[in-house]
Chain A
Amino acid sequence: MNGLIWNKTKECMSAEDRYKLQSARLVKQVKRVYHQVPFYREKMQQMGLEPGDIKGLEDLGKLPFTTKADLRDHYPFGLFAVPQSEIVRLHASSGTTGKPTVVGYTRGDIECWQECVARCLTMAGVTQHDKVQVAYGYGLFTGGLGLHYGVENLGAMVIPISTSHTQKQLQLMEDFGTTVIACTPSYLGHLMDSILEAGIKPNLQLKTAICGAEPWTEELRTKIQNGLGIELFDIYGLSEIMGPGVSQDCEAHQGSHVMDDYFLPELLDPDTLQAVPDGEVGELVITTLTKEALPLLRYRTHDLTSITHEPCSCCRTSARIARFRGRSDDMLIIRGVNVFPSQIEAALMQLGETKPHYQIILEREGNMDTFDILIEVEERFFSDEVAELERLSHKVSQTLSQALGLHPTVHLVEPGTIERSEGKARRVIDKRRIYVP
């Protein structure tokens, strides 16, 4: 145990103090959203609820839920609670259809975010003496800039290399003496293979990895820890709530500490939406307690996990969530990118009046996700010329790349090739084992 804690006052407060703080913040937040966000005001009015009815945490269950569809319906800025002049940054993630989900941050939100990420890094034993290579994507995706600001806030050195260019990643790691890498766990697996193949492991100073943006298992953690001799930490977040840093595991690796003075977690049965007891699997629902630009009440993450409120051996008293068991919706996470089958459907509709029969196949090759799509070549798509069929493959690939930000490998197959059960084709075959069974 390194015993380092970034914000001991907040991270180790007593259960009673935590409850009081969360209650006070919730009451204040509900008042704000009621007055600033017409969507919530209308919802609460329909439920016969006034801000004054929420007196503390015990009233949380009275509040309305928020879904990704609500964000889509108010695209792009309809749920913002501040004037646009107060927004200092936007990020976006996949929506369920063509439009992305847009999130905004005030200066205060960015400060909160970098506080959370600094807590996570400290939890992983990272200090100002470290050199952190951020190999998450920079841009609209929250990963790169989220980690970046956290590292700067901590006072460590940030190497903002962003994704891919594996050879360059290795070169900088070697030349700069990188001690911490932040990237998706599957990409770290790929980096590990490249490091071992190049035989440069003895030249590296690497000791820690901050991995997130996709679900992964203990099996992969053990594999990489053994292969590289480094310690891996599992950082969790979603752009709707903030980005990476909503929770992370400490050195005890006994669950992921939720920054619950900012993000209030609930575990609910996804069907009945009733609370499930600690230790039982349910859907994680989060209320942002201090978020200024985009405060969300009871946002349904659709991530399935369990929760404990027992204090951890690291002294932190925050609630901890277990490794993810799956999703309560059909969202896929491919190479760290969130993909909804409905997005794929919508994109393929562009190919003709009726979309082709297709099937997505996801696998792990080495440690990387492969993303293949089979397209049944019906007569209307068929040509006697190879060049024409190659154009079709290319068009499918381009259409999906633009819609998803991921390049699929397209395979043209004969009609009837895709298995149908009870006449219905299974659209997605996910052969990866990324969730805890």
Chain B
Amino acid sequence: MAHQLSVFIGNQSGRFHEVARVLAENGVNILSFSLADTADYGILRMICDNTEKGLEALRANSITARLTDVLLVPIEPQIGSLTLMLDVIGTDVNIAYMYPYSTQGPDAGMVLKVDEPELVKERLLQANFSVA
């Protein structure tokens, strides 16, 4: 399973900037991210090229962060491919959250956090999806 870098961001201006700055200064490239926002805080979820290094750098700057296991599932950039992936996952499994990622090339895909990752992975592999 892939590692996502999850970061707690307080509801104060400049905090997201601080996270981006720390990662940039440590040469960590953010490939994709999503930000969940609430009234008091946000949760920043990122796929990076060097997650461990990113975690270390954030911790060194007293920023609350941790690694989370997620599924990376490439899908075809065409109509219906998302539906197909969700069909395979099945409606009996709860998806905690999901966001897209893209690379510099034509590949695109989804980052998934699900309640039963092993089961989902197996279903996707059986349906000829690749899962990282």
Binding site for B on A (CB under 8 A): 377-379, 382-387, 389-390, 411-417
Is B40 in contact with A411, judged by CB distance below 8 angstroms? yes
> Can you report 25 A-B residue pairs in the complex whose CB atoms are below 8 A from each other?
A379-B59, A379-B65, A379-B66, A382-B6, A382-B8, A382-B65, A382-B66, A384-B6, A384-B45, A384-B68, A385-B97, A385-B113, A389-B38, A390-B38, A412-B10, A412-B40, A412-B41, A413-B10, A413-B41, A414-B12, A414-B15, A414-B41, A414-B63, A415-B62, A415-B64
CB-contact partner of A386 in B10, B43, B65, B66, under 8 A: B43
CB-contact partner of B40 in A413, A415, A416, under 8 A: A413
Determine whether B79 belongs to the interface, using a CB cutoff of 8 Å to chain A: no
CB-contact partner of B43 in A384, A413, A415, under 8 A: A384
Chain A residue contacts of B64, Cβ below 8 A: 377-379, 382, 414-415
Chain B residue contacts of A413, Cβ below 8 A: 10, 40-41
Determine whether B9 belongs to the interface, using a CB cutoff of 8 Å to chain A: yes
Interface size class of chain B, counting residues whose CB lies under 8 Å from the partner chain: 20 to 34
- In the bound complex, how far is the Cα of B97 from the Cα of A173, in angstroms? 52
- In the bound complex, how far is the Cα of B57 from the Cα of A89, in angstroms? 62
Chain A residue contacts of B97, Cβ below 8 A: 385
What is the CB-to-nearest-CB distance from B61 to chain A, in angstroms, rounded to a whole number? Answer: 10
Chain B residue contacts of A379, Cβ below 8 A: 59, 64-66
- In the bound complex, how far is the Cα of B86 from the Cα of A61, in angstroms? 81
Determine whether B51 belongs to the interface, using a CB cutoff of 8 Å to chain A: no
Chain A residue contacts of B66, Cβ below 8 A: 379, 382, 384
Binding site for A on B (CB under 8 A): 4, 6, 8-10, 12, 15, 36, 38, 40-41, 43, 45, 59, 62-66, 68, 96-97, 113
Is B15 in contact with A386, judged by CB distance below 8 angstroms? no
- In the bound complex, how far is the Cα of B96 from the Cα of A199, in angstroms? 49
Chain A residue contacts of B15, Cβ below 8 A: 414
- In the bound complex, how far is the Cα of B11 from the Cα of A38, in angstroms? 57
Name A390's closest neighbour in chain B (CB-CB): B38
Name which of B43, B59, B65 has the most chain A CB atoms within 10 A of its CB.
B43
Name B63's closest neighbour in chain A (CB-CB): A414
- In the bound complex, how far is the Cα of B30 from the Cα of A81, in angstroms? 72
Name A413's closest neighbour in chain B (CB-CB): B10
- In the bound complex, how far is the Cα of B66 from the Cα of A148, in angstroms? 57
- In the bound complex, how far is the Cα of B38 from the Cα of A390, in angstroms? 10
Is B63 in contact with A389, judged by CB distance below 8 angstroms? no
- In the bound complex, how far is the Cα of B3 from the Cα of A375, in angstroms? 27
The list of the 9 closest CB pairs from A to B, nearest first, reads: A384-B6, A414-B10, A384-B68, A411-B40, A413-B10, A382-B64, A377-B8, A382-B8, A386-B36
- In the bound complex, how far is the Cα of B113 from the Cα of A155, in angstroms? 68
Is A386 in contact with B113, judged by CB distance below 8 angstroms? no
Name B9's closest neighbour in chain A (CB-CB): A414
Chain A residue contacts of B12, Cβ below 8 A: 414, 417
Name B42's closest neighbour in chain A (CB-CB): A386
Chain A residue contacts of B63, Cβ below 8 A: 414
Is B62 in contact with A416, judged by CB distance below 8 angstroms? yes
